[in-house]
Amino acid sequence: MITGSSSDIEIFQKIASADSKALEALYNRYAPILYTTLRKIVTDERLAEEVLTEVFVIIWKKSILFNPELSSVYAWLVLLARNKGVDVVRRLRENSTMPEYSDEYEDEFIIPMLSPVIEKIDYRIANGLKVNVENALIKLTDAQQYVLSLAFYDGLTEKEIAEKLNIPTETVKAKIRTALTNFKTNLMGKS
């Protein structure tokens, strides 16, 4: 039975065996962070709620594609919501040039493909890191924060960021590398 102290792994295993109570437990645990992510990406409150609904339906249908014992539940869920949110915004902006939204498309571009070698982070660890993450982001320059925001929340590709900022793509690539590396150093130290 799923309780408040059940691990994310247990919850995911139950979801994979079609236990909707487990999905409800996952919702209670992760809806705030996923909704916060979506509000930042799609802005509109009602649209963010609708996308959040879609995200949980994807989790229900596709949890079988994810092995929580070997991976980072928090990263998988947040990146899934991020990818879905960015995709919705892109389709609203440029629907005619977007490929059809199919099951295959979802598996390739919406479901995150995490590295098989990854530290396991769950909501408890992520909650504990909140203040450190804020401080690590604040230490970045305004330009570094901006470029990270354009990439992560606005969902722009490196080429699109280059066009938007009117700078060479190579410069954007270098800025992204530096920004994320500095963020890592600020958060985890040089080692």
Show contacts with other proteins in window 70-89 (CB under 8 A): 72, 74-75, 78-79, 82-83, 86, 88
**Which one among 97, 116, 166, 190 touches other proteins, defined by CB under 8 A?**
116
Instruction: Report if residue 119 touches other proteins, rule: CB under 8 A.
Output: yes
Of residues 37 through 76, those in contact with other proteins by CB under 8 A are 37, 39-40, 44-54, 56-57, 60-61, 72, 74-75
- Output the smallest distance, CB 143 to other proteins, in A: 12
- Output the smallest distance, CB 15 to other proteins, in A: 11
Nearer to other proteins, 149 or 166 (CB): 149
- Output the smallest distance, CB 96 to other proteins, in A: 14
Instruction: Report if residue 134 touches other proteins, rule: CB under 8 A.
Output: yes
- Output the smallest distance, CB 190 to other proteins, in A: 14
| Cβ-contact 12, 26 below 8 angstroms | yes
Phi-psi region of 78 (alpha: psi -120 to 50; beta: other; left: phi over 0): alpha
Instruction: Report if residue 15 touches other proteins, rule: CB under 8 A.
Output: no
Residue type at position 69: E
For residue 13, the tally of other CB atoms under 10 A from its CB is: 17
- Output the smallest distance, CB 134 to other proteins, in A: 4
Where b means 16+ CB within 10 Å and e means fewer, 91-125 reads eeeeeeeeeeeeeeebeeebbbeeeeeeebbbbee
Burial of 39 (0-12, 13-18, 19+ CB in 10 A): middle
Of residues 93 through 112, those in contact with other proteins by CB under 8 A are 99, 108-109, 112
Nearer to other proteins, 65 or 137 (CB): 137
Where b means 16+ CB within 10 Å and e means fewer, 155-178 reads bbebeebbeebeeeeeebeebbee
Phi then psi dihedrals of residue 31, to 5 deg: -55, -40
